[in-house]
Amino acid sequence: MTSWDNREVTNEHLLPYVDSETAPADVQTALRTLPFERNIFKLIANAPVFFPTFMKLLTCAWSPERALRSTDWQIIVLRTASLLNAPYEWDVNEPVARVFGMTDEHLKYLRSGDLSSRELFTNRQRLISSVVEELCLKDRVAEDKVQQCKEIFGDQGLMELFFTQTIYAFLARTMNSCKIDFDHPIPGLEDMLRKYNAATIEKEMQYTD
């Protein structure tokens, strides 16, 4: 099982990892949604009725058409991983955060939950972190904060925030409950991520606030 300080693969996972070579055709296709495979997808593929549709939902997080920025998305994901004590989720998404410009300093304070530095984080990012914290710890967001989010992100952005946090909270709770193992290293991962996210990386570079 994964832990923050130990990457040993114990193979004590409580559900099997579905093999993309022997899975039903629609599950095989869904497992190859990204240009690399991950244990979490092979784990949730144990529900073949849900899995292909879920992968279509998950890939919306990468869409250049979403209202939320890519760094918004990664703040949501990494704060969820930290608050729900999901080191695997953090490990999978840290390389994604890095291609969107997050540094060791950003990641250090995101994991601790201290976004007070005005050099590292914006008011927008602090608000997102606060919303994620309330969702993880209280299961609801205070009305005044919802109104603040509507003003900053708009109705679409706010609902995308709820969708994104819920998706990654589901993944975090599933991987922890099923005792997932860390993935083996993926050669050329950064280049693949940069190519896959090229449009959104370019879009992210245009923001100045």
Give a three-class secondary structure readout of the chain.
CCCCCCCCCCCCCCCCCCCCCCCCHHHHHHHCCCCCCCHHHHHHCCCCCCHHHHHHHHHHHHCCCCCCCHHHHHHHHHHHHHHCCCHHHHHHHHHHHHHCCCCHHHHHHHHHCCCCCCCCCCHHHHHHHHHHHHHHHHCCCCHHHHHHHHHHHHHHHHHHHHHHHHHHHHHHHHHHHCCCCCCCCCCCHHHHHHHHCHHHHHHHCCCCC
The answer to the question of residue 103 being in a domain is yes
Q: Which domain CATH number covers 36?
A: 1.20.1290.10
Whether 110 is covered by a domain: the verdict is: yes
pLDDT at 22 over 90: yes
- 87: pLDDT strictly greater than 90: yes
Q: What is the mean pLDDT of residues 68-91?
A: 97
15 located within any domain: no
Total domains, the chain: 1
pLDDT in tens, 29-44: 999 998 889 999 999 9
* pTM score of the predicted model: 0.95
The answer to whether residue 11 is domain-embedded is no
Q: How many CB atoms lie within 10 A of CB 126?
A: 15
Residue 116 resides in a domain: yes
C-alpha distance from residue 29 to each of 17, 42, 83, 135, 144 (Å): 15, 12, 32, 32, 43
Kindly report the backbone phi and psi dihedral angles of residue 4, in degrees, each rounded to the nearest multiple of 5, phi listed first.
-65, -30
Is 13 domain-assigned? Answer: no
Higher-confidence residue of 202 and 39: namely 39
Confidence label for 48 from pLDDT (cuts 50, 70 and 90): very high
Q: Residue 141 region, left (φ>0) first, then alpha (ψ -120 to 50), else beta?
A: beta
Domain of 90, in residue numbers: 25-204
153 in any annotated domain? yes
| CB-based contact 163:132 (threshold 8 Å) | no
Domain membership flag for residue 148? yes
Tokens found for residue 203: 């879009």
